[in-house]
């Protein structure tokens, strides 16, 4: 049994240093350059949020950090060890919860431990602890279809936490939730993060979400994917989501993204949509007659 499996979910501050160094990626030999020397260092216990236009390579960065995709160039390490495959030290939570519909909440959460041969009694303790952390101890026996979207994502987070990873990788985990549930999830995730001290690499399209949660926001540059800007958010946690400070920073980050989106749109228009010069329309000052 690995050390990760036998350890309870506890505060970790000495591990979780995730480092991407000059990572480049194409999906085919002659294909477009998707990531161009992306360097990103998440310190142990840091909450890093990546935002950027669609297609800028955010999920690709996360999948490479997870070990699900391989970089063509560059290096990925976790606490100095090269990352080359998925591992229990890096848990992933996606927008789609990916839970087994035929299992109930506690069976889903305990599935990974069962596969690793952890005894039933230890499993039960660990499942209870993980479910308590996401405030779902009372719903342990519920089947997935009996739960709301927010509850399902909380089960997915509990399933990720139970292996006591050093790093949580989250790809738009709350994108499908309504605004109130999202706010609740932000509060709970901050609580879990502060309690466990895990490193979190989180992707979102929501600038508000990014600024509420992050120690540092990374704004991606698109086509190719690069780090455009890093914006430290130096406000104490847990944050008052309605504070003026937050709103000022949200405006600043939004401007950065809008500039990038405008740059990309202009670039795409120049590259792919160059209308041919028409010569048959005459000039604007041509006499078109006096009309009807
Ligand atoms: N498996 C794949 N094969 C080929 N191309 C891919 C693959 N996965 C991603 N891409 C391409 O890589 C680019 C970056 O995709 P990625 O999913 O990382 O972007 P993203 O920033 O997460 O976008 P979104 O905000 O829409 O989720 C896109 O152009 C996408 O089409
Ligand atoms: Mg994506």
CATH label of the domain that carries residue 65: 3.40.50.300
pLDDT exceeds 70 at position 67: yes
d(CA 5, CA 89): 10
Does the CB atom of residue 34 touch ligand 1 within 6 A? yes
Phi, psi (rounded to 5 degrees) for 192: -60, -45
Query: Cα of 54 to ligand 1 centre, how many Å?
Result: 8
- Count the residues in the chain: 292
The answer to whether residue 161 is domain-embedded is no
Ligand nearest to the CA of 34: 1
Does the CB atom of residue 55 touch ligand 1 within 6 A? yes
Per-residue CA distances from 16 to 49, 56, 83, 160 (Å):
15, 25, 12, 15
pLDDT of residue 33: 97
pTM of the model: 0.88
Residues 6+ apart with CB under 8 A from 20: 38, 39, 40, 41, 61, 64, 65, 74, 75, 76
Does the CB atom of residue 54 touch ligand 1 within 6 A? yes
What is the DSSP pairing of strand 216-221 with strand 47-51? Answer: parallel
pLDDT exceeds 50 at position 23: yes
- Sorting pLDDT into bands at 50, 70 and 90, what band is 97? confident
pLDDT exceeds 80 at position 47: yes
What does the pLDDT average to over 187-205? 94
What does the pLDDT average to over 109-124? 95
Residue nearest to atom 9 of ligand 1 (CA): 60
What does the pLDDT average to over 254-283? 71
Q: What is the dihedral of CA 277, 282, 285, 291, to 10 degrees?
A: -130
What does the block give as tokens for 12?
């970790």
Which of 53, 59, 65, 176 to mutate to test ligand 1, by most ligand atoms within 8 A of the CB atom?
Answer: 59
Look at 51-60, 155-164, 236-245 and tell me which has the smallest mean pLDDT: 236-245
pLDDT tens digits, residue range 224-244?
A: 999 999 999 999 888 877 788
Does the CB atom of residue 224 touch ligand 1 within 6 A? no
What does the block give as tokens for 120?
């039933």
Residues 6+ apart with CB under 8 A from 178: 149
pLDDT of residue 287: 47
The answer to whether residue 144 is domain-embedded is no
What does the pLDDT average to over 6-27? 81
- Sorting pLDDT into bands at 50, 70 and 90, what band is 271? low
The answer to whether residue 27 is domain-embedded is yes
Residue nearest to atom 25 of ligand 1 (CA): 54
Query: Cα of 47 to ligand 2 centre, how many Å?
Result: 18
Query: Cα of 63 to ligand 1 centre, how many Å?
Result: 11
What does the pLDDT average to over 94-108? 94
The answer to whether residue 112 is domain-embedded is no
pLDDT exceeds 70 at position 272: no
- Sorting pLDDT into bands at 50, 70 and 90, what band is 290? very low
pLDDT exceeds 60 at position 283: no
Q: Which chain residues have CB less than 5 Å from ligand 2, an ion?
A: 59
The answer to whether residue 196 is domain-embedded is yes
The answer to whether residue 256 is domain-embedded is yes
The answer to whether residue 111 is domain-embedded is no
Structural domain total, the chain: 1
The answer to whether residue 280 is domain-embedded is no
pLDDT of residue 12: 59
- Sorting pLDDT into bands at 50, 70 and 90, what band is 265? confident
Residues spanned by the domain of 210 = 3-103+169-272
To the nearest whole number, what is the mean pLDDT of the chain? 89
- What is the distance of C-alpha 286 from the center of its chain? 56
What does the pLDDT average to over 157-173? 95
């Amino acid at each position: 049994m690995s050390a990760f499996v036998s350890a309870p979910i506890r505060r970790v501050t000495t591990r979780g240093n995730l480092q991407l160094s000059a990572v480049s990626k194409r999906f085919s030999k002659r294909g477009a350059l998707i990531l161009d020397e992306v360097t990103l260092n998440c310190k142990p216990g840091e909450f890093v949020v990546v935002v950027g236009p669609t297609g800028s390579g955010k999920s690709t960065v996360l999948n490479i950090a997870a070990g699900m995709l391989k970089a063509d160039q560059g290096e990925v390490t976790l606490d100095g060890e090269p990352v080359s495959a998925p591992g229990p030290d890096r848990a992933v939570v996606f927008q789609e919860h990916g839970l087994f519909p035929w299992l109930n909440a506690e069976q889903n959460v305990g599935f990974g431990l069962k596969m690793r041969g952890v005894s039933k009694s230890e499993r039960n303790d660990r499942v209870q602890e993980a479910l308590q952390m996401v405030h779902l101890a009372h719903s342990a026996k519920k089947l997935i279809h009996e739960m709301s979207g927010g509850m399902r994502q909380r089960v997915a987070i509990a399933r990720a936490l139970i292996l006591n990873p050093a790093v949580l990788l989250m790809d738009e985990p709350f994108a499908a939730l309504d605004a109130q549930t999202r706010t609740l999830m932000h509060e709970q995730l901050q609580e879990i993060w502060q309690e466990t001290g895990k490193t979190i690499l989180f992707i979102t399209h929501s600038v508000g979400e990014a600024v509420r949660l992050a120690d540092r926001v990374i704004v991606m540059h698109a086509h190719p994917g690069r780090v455009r800007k890093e914006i430290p958010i130096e406000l104490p946690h847990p944050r008052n989501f309605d504070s003026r400070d937050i709103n000022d920073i949200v405006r600043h980050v939004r401007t950065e993204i809008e500039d990038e989106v405008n740059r990309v749109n202009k670039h795409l228009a120049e590259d792919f949509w160059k209308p041919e010069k028409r010569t048959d329309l005459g000039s604007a000052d041509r006499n078109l007659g006096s009309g009807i």
